[in-house]
Amino acid sequence: MPWELSESEFRAPAGADRLAAAIRRRAQALGRPVRLMEVCGTHTMAITKAGLRGLLAPQVRLLSGPGCPVCVTPAGAIDAALALAARPGVTVASYGDLLRVPGSQPGDTLLRRRALGAGVQVVYSPMEAVALAAADPARQVVFLGVGFETTAPGTAAAVQEAADRGLANFTVLCLLKRTAPALRALLAAPDFAVDGFLCPGHVAAVTGAQEFAFLPQEYGLPAVVAGFEPADILYAAYRLVSRLDGGAPALENEYTRVVAPQGNPAAQAAVRAVFAPADSVWRGLGAIPQSGLALRPAWRGFDAAARFGLELRPGAEPPGCRCGDVLRGACTPGGCPLFGKACTPADPVGPCMVSGEGACAAAYRYGLTEE
Amino acid sequence: MQEIITLDYGSGGVKTARLIEEILLPAFKNTALDSLGDAALVPGGAQLVFSTDSFVVTPWRFPGGDIGKLAVCGTVNDVCMAGGDPRVLSCGLILEEGFPLDDLRAIVESMARAARQAGVQIVTGDTKVVERGKGDGVYINTAGIGVLRTPGLGRAALRAGDAVLVSGSVGCHGAAVLAARSGLPGGGALRSDCRCLRDLSAAALDAGGVRILRDPTRGGVATTLNEFVEGGPLGIELEESALPVDAPVAAVCDLLGLDPLYAACEGRLLAVAAPERADAVLAALRALPGGEGAARIGAVTARRPGTVALRTALGGSRLLPKLTGAQLPRIC
């Protein structure tokens, strides 16, 4: 094929121009805009930071799916975290991004509660939350366990560590999600129109690339497990349009330097030991069977919902907010009436504007609509 | 819901600007304040430049500096950026009950050393002690007065085609403090760029053609450049490939999810210079300690008025808006 280049050339930024041109050309041959979806917040950020959308438009449209863990956490879960933080003697330990997400009441965030004196602590890892609990036995430390398969092993390890140390004051509010069931739910929606998937390299590093084999096998869609350098993403997009333009749909692993076909067995074992798949509510997508992880009965003592008698409700979505549609690729950030007006990174209404990895925040921060 | 102060209001970004514009400026309104530079010109023709800054960094000692050195350099630098030659500083200390005297001595000695190096004297001061739990060890406020050496600097002097220069690699201070705080492995390679900019700014101004000077502290290079052009008829375009970022800074920022363009510098200056003088300004900067890595990073343009855009290494473009929200806890 005239523009079939070697992989190493595609990795070098010097080849980016040619690669982008090759992608556009192959997409052009299909005679319609090609819609590719990434389902990882790190991909969202990498794409916007490198300005890849503009490089591939208009022949290829890159859409952001439900890949930002903060964005898919429902308002009801935030309400539960806010309620926990309001209890005397409780410290809520959380990744920083979650602190700015409003619950059902606009403007009510963990950041605000902290400013008013609530026990809210930013941590970079679940183990830090375990250390907080160990250092202050008089306080109950609740770790907000958000994220996908990538953060689940660390959360599992933290629970095991807390058990080993006999900590009676550490629990997890388990909001962990699984990627594949959410993709199935997206694909089942009648208005869902995507030509191929950029699959999340970090998730696949844990689960194995095979986790995404169902996309070509059951849905006839090409899928490429991709890394996070701009050239990784361009190369993955090139493979996807190549598959669409005359190739057969298949799963490819572009991120072989990190992702093994079977993933990381030790991480999988830790997750399996502590968590079991469970139904879960996603912001914008609703309840999806088996799309979350819950603590197994043997670990119930570390379940914040059980210890504090919490019932997770879906919670109210902010009026007018279209984050749900954005997460499904049914609406671009700019298509939301609140975008850039009532909803900005300084005063976010919906979760996609809160997280640095959210599609709306990325579009607002880095978007150049004219290009 | 009642509006309250959150950490975002101290980030140096969008919310800090809102605090200034909605609460402080209307109350204090005057022409000296309205220019919103790093320092003000004292009205009445006295040719004096006046500035103040408060320092709450934690931990108080960090790789490459400490709160005392920072408190002197920060205010000295603000006076220099406004075209002033700094002469005297004040020193206000707010100490928390229980703070070790040895630590205070070390901080004050560090201030004295920095003042000597900057050629300024600390001529007045104040000390307050607050109850344990009502402070965080030590807070320092300094104010500085200088004599105006170069008038006419400011946003109004910018022209399309001007060159945007930086005196060295960006984001070192923010990355060093955050690495020290989080105990990151490999963070030991990082040092704050905290330094007095008196010589560098004087050299840049003497080279001629400088339109505006700023030191990109809180909010980093991206936020400071936005302040140059926001609401005005011009924009700025940066070249990602021309931006000097040290490898350890890039690595730590990657790990912590930060962008070096939004990480604070405490010993760098941004200059916009007339295109025909840009090389001379760069040469003057490069000839001095702390300016060896000076680089031309972009240009002022009439495209996209009011915005800062980055041309990425891959040839794409993206906007660089002001910082929104605190990246992380206190660093200056």
B71-93 CB burial, b ≥16 within 10 A, e <16:
bbbbbbbbbbbbbbbbbebbbbb
* Residue numbers of B between 7 and 46 with CB closer than 8 Å to A: 7-8, 13-15, 18
pLDDT exceeds 60 at position B91: yes
Domain ranges within chain B, ordered by starting residue: 41-148, 155-319
Report CB contact under 8 Å: A368, B8.
no
Determine the Cα–Cα distance for residues B150 and B80; give it in Å rounded to an integer: 10
Residue A7 pLDDT level (bands cut at 50, 70, 90): very low
For chain A, domains (ranges, CATH) are: 7-63+181-253 (3.40.50.11750), 70-178+289-307 (3.40.50.11740), 319-365 (no CATH)
| Topology at the third CATH level for domain B41-148 | 60s Ribosomal Protein L30; Chain: A; (3.30.1330)
Q: At what angle do helices B198-207 and B278-286 cross, to 10 degrees?
A: 150
pLDDT exceeds 50 at position A5: no
User: Is B257 within 8 Å of chain A by CB?
Assistant: yes
CA dihedral B155, B161, B166, B167 (to 10 degrees): -100
B191-214 confidence digits (pLDDT tens): 899 999 999 999 999 999 999 999
**Pick from A105, A115, A366: which is nearest to B5 by CB?**
A115
B272-285 confidence digits (pLDDT tens): 999 999 999 999 99
Which pLDDT does position B314 carry in this prediction?
Answer: 83
Q: What is the mean pLDDT of residues A91-100?
A: 90
- The verdict on whether omega for the bond into residue B59 sits within 30 degrees of 0, i.e. cis, is yes
Which positions in chain A touch B255 (Cβ < 8 Å)? Answer: none
DSSP-H helix ranges across chain A: 7-11, 16-29, 41-50, 52-56, 69-72, 75-86, 110-115, 126-135, 152-164, 179-188, 201-207, 214-219, 230-244, 265-274, 304-307, 323-327, 351-354, 359-366
Sheet harboring A90-94: ordered strands across? A120-122, A90-94, A140-145, A170-174
Closest CA to A27 of A219, A246, A197, A226: A246
Which pLDDT does position A85 carry in this prediction?
Answer: 96
Which pLDDT does position A4 carry in this prediction?
Answer: 47
Considering chain B, what is the average pLDDT of its residues?
92
**What token pair was written down for A86?**
């309001």
A253-281 confidence digits (pLDDT tens): 999 989 999 999 999 999 999 999 999 99
Considering chain A, what is the average pLDDT of its residues?
90
Most confident region among A97-111, A133-147, A278-292, B13-27 by mean pLDDT: A133-147
Instruction: Report the share of chain A in percent with pLDDT over 70.
Output: 95
User: Is B313 within 8 Å of chain A by CB?
Assistant: yes
Identify whether the C-beta of residue B182 lies closer than 8 Å to the C-beta of residue B63: no
Which pLDDT does position B330 carry in this prediction?
Answer: 52
Distance of CA B90 to the CA centre of its chain: 19
Strand pairing class (A90-94; A140-145)? parallel
**Pick from B259, B304, B318: which is nearest to A51 by CB?**
B318
From B237's Cα to the closest Cα of chain A, the distance in A is: 13
B107-154 confidence digits (pLDDT tens): 999 999 999 999 999 999 999 999 999 999 999 999 999 999 999 999
A277-326 confidence digits (pLDDT tens): 999 999 878 899 999 999 999 999 999 999 999 988 877 778 888 988 88
Residue A231, helix vs strand vs coil: helix
The residue with greater pLDDT, B287 or B31, is B287
Which positions in chain A touch B245 (Cβ < 8 Å)? Answer: none
A321-350 confidence digits (pLDDT tens): 898 888 888 888 999 999 989 998 888 888
Report CB contact under 8 Å: B317, A371.
yes
Which positions in chain B touch A55 (Cβ < 8 Å)? Answer: 314-316
Strand pairing class (A34-38; A196-200)? parallel
Residue B327 pLDDT level (bands cut at 50, 70, 90): low
User: Is B183 within 8 Å of chain A by CB?
Assistant: no
User: Is B321 within 8 Å of chain A by CB?
Assistant: yes
Report CB contact under 8 Å: B318, A367.
yes
Q: Tokens 């101004």: give the residue.
A: B205
Q: Count of CB atoms within 10 A of residue B239's CB? A: 16
ipTM of the complex: 0.74
Which pLDDT does position A106 carry in this prediction?
Answer: 82
A166-223 confidence digits (pLDDT tens): 999 999 999 999 999 999 999 998 888 899 999 999 999 999 999 999 999 999 999 9
From B235's Cα to the closest Cα of chain A, the distance in A is: 14
pLDDT exceeds 70 at position A83: yes
pLDDT exceeds 80 at position B325: no
**Pick from B257, B304, B325: which is nearest to A346 by CB?**
B325
Determine the Cα–Cα distance for residues B321 and B239; give it in Å rounded to an integer: 15
- Segment among A242-251, B98-107, B273-282 with least mean pLDDT: A242-251
The residue with greater pLDDT, A6 or B316, is B316
Closest CA to B53 of B114, B142, B174: B142
Which pLDDT does position A90 carry in this prediction?
Answer: 97
From A99's Cα to the closest Cα of chain B, the distance in A is: 11
The residue with greater pLDDT, A238 or B256, is A238
Q: pTM surpassing 0.80?
A: yes
Instruction: Report the share of chain B in percent with pLDDT over 70.
Output: 96
Q: At what angle do helices A16-29 and A230-244 cross, to 10 degrees?
A: 20
CATH of domain B155-319: 3.90.650.10
Q: What is the mean pLDDT of residues B226-255?
A: 92
Q: What is the mean pLDDT of residues A53-61?
A: 91
- Segment among A13-17, A52-56, A346-350, B196-200 with least mean pLDDT: A13-17
From A190's Cα to the closest Cα of chain B, the distance in A is: 34
pLDDT exceeds 80 at position B83: yes
**Pick from A20, A100, A231: which is nearest to B325 by CB?**
A100
